[in-house]
Amino acid sequence: MAQDKEHKLKKLFHDWAGEVITGIERITGSGSNRQYYRISGKEESAIGVIGEDKNENRAFLTFTDHFKKHGLNVPEIYNSDEEAGIYLLQDLGDISLFGLLPGKSGSKKISGETELIYKRVLDDLINFQVVAGKDFDYSVCFPRDKFDRQSMQWDLNYFKYYYLRPSYIPFHEQALENDFRTLMDFLSLADAGYFMYRDFQARNILLYNNQPYYIDYQGGRKGPLQYDVASLLFQAKADLSFAFREQMLEYYISQLKHHISVDRNSFIPLYYGFALIRTLQVLGAYGYRGFFERKIHFAESISYALDNLEWLLKNVEFSIKIPELTKCLEEMVRQGRKMKRRSGSENLTVEIRSFSYLQQGIPDDKSGHGGGFVFDCRALRNPGKLIEFRKLSGLDKPVSDFLGQQAEVELFINNVFGVVSQSVDKYIERGFNHLTVDFGCTGGQHRSVYCAERIYEKLKNKYNIDLIINHTMKDRW
């Protein structure tokens, strides 16, 4: 945090609490560019927020005041300096609804207590959408005041450019755009006259004093009811059973009928349509945060979103024809199954690859996890410059013997193994399931292949993990 921002946050806290600050702890954000801090004094604590976008800050602060007037559980605003882009919020703790879900236990069974919380959350959602939505000031919404065709187009483009293209899913550009238009036409049939939270999901629902509290609604706007329900029940990594999702959907509709007239036969098909576009938007976000920003949490969530897509493809018969998009979705699901087979269970898979800087460049990470290692072998002596080795590779004994006699090569291998082992140990401890280790040299034939093979053998001898080795230029020797 920049010194001036830190100073202003401290002053904001001191002005509110009237006491000396005893600690500031950075809270790791997930998908947001805002910065969050837990600021503590002797008696008081608060969440300090730095938001660089003043329009977004204004939306959050204005929405919070409005929701408070309607008795909804949102954090208190203790103090703010809108000009500086900072504000203080009530500290609601760290326990979220997401944290109550079974997660890695392998079971999707929801406890009776958690089911009651979901029902309470759906009741509150109706109050956000219908009750508080009646006199809502949509003029302060950011970046758009309604979820219309423009918003849908942004989400679909996000999916196309940050997930489809980086995943190398083939598609016909115009045919896909035609399907996007068809999908938008269908979704535009929904009544969009309600408050739409936009990111209504279990991570944004905190449990404080045994009550659900709601955060991160600054992207809210006028929109359809179905979107938020789909956001909650189709939340990718929540991994809810589909039976539970259907049960909660029926509960929501039954409660909604106490407020407005609901035609179930038209509501549900549109609900699944919004579940689809929400899942595509989420995959775009996962692709951006995972493929480009290399944030492993998002990359690891892709398989859950693909599971949602697979269920929609198998269980929902849409009344619209979207053949090119459907073809893309089926290929995405197929790739997801393939990756699961390669990864096995929750065991760690280390994928070791050799490549040519001259011919290919650093290979893309198709796992979606990002990160990993790339080691440049070009500083090592090149056997390819010797006539007797030119038609051989690092897999051949003469080349292997030649490189194995070089002290600099052995030092390189030992240093690499030390670094990689440190990550493997941590990945196993933290339950991660994929790591790439790439070796590159000029032609991708001698040094990189030899080093990849050596690290493969060392890892095989030390760990009980799944190993994959791939020499990307092997078929050209």
pLDDT at residue 363 in the model: 84
Question: Which tens digit of pLDDT belongs to each residue from 291-307?
Answer: 766 665 666 678 899 99
Distance between CA atoms of residues 41 and 220, nearest Å: 33
Distance between CA atoms of residues 457 and 452, nearest Å: 9
Residue 107: its H or E element: none
pTM > 0.85: no
User: Which of 8, 37, 34 is closest to 25 using CA atoms?
Assistant: 37
Helix intervals (H) in 39-164: 54-69, 112-126, 149-159
pLDDT at residue 106 in the model: 52
pLDDT at residue 475 in the model: 43
pLDDT at residue 462 in the model: 85
pLDDT at residue 266 in the model: 96
C-alpha dihedral, 457 to 437 to 299 to 208, nearest 10°: 80
* CB-CB neighbours of 97 under 10 Å: 22
CA distances to 110, 372, 421, 436, 465 from 461, rounded to whole Å, are: 41, 20, 12, 18, 10
Through-space distance between the first and last CA atoms of the chain, rounded to whole angstroms: 52
Distance between CA atoms of residues 242 and 244, nearest Å: 5
User: Which of 196, 279, 264, 190 is closest to 234 using CA atoms?
Assistant: 279
Distance between CA atoms of residues 2 and 9, nearest Å: 11
Low pLDDT (below 50) residues in the chain: 1, 104-105, 342-345, 474-477
Question: Which tens digit of pLDDT belongs to each residue from 416-449?
Answer: 999 999 999 888 877 788 899 999 999 999 999 9
pLDDT at residue 168 in the model: 86
All structural domains of the chain: 3-90 (3.30.200.20), 98-343 (3.90.1200.10), 349-476 (no CATH)
pLDDT at residue 433 in the model: 82
Three-state DSSP class for residue 5? helix
Question: Which tens digit of pLDDT belongs to each residue from 190-207?
Answer: 999 999 999 999 999 999
Phi then psi for residue 46, to 5 deg, are -155, 165
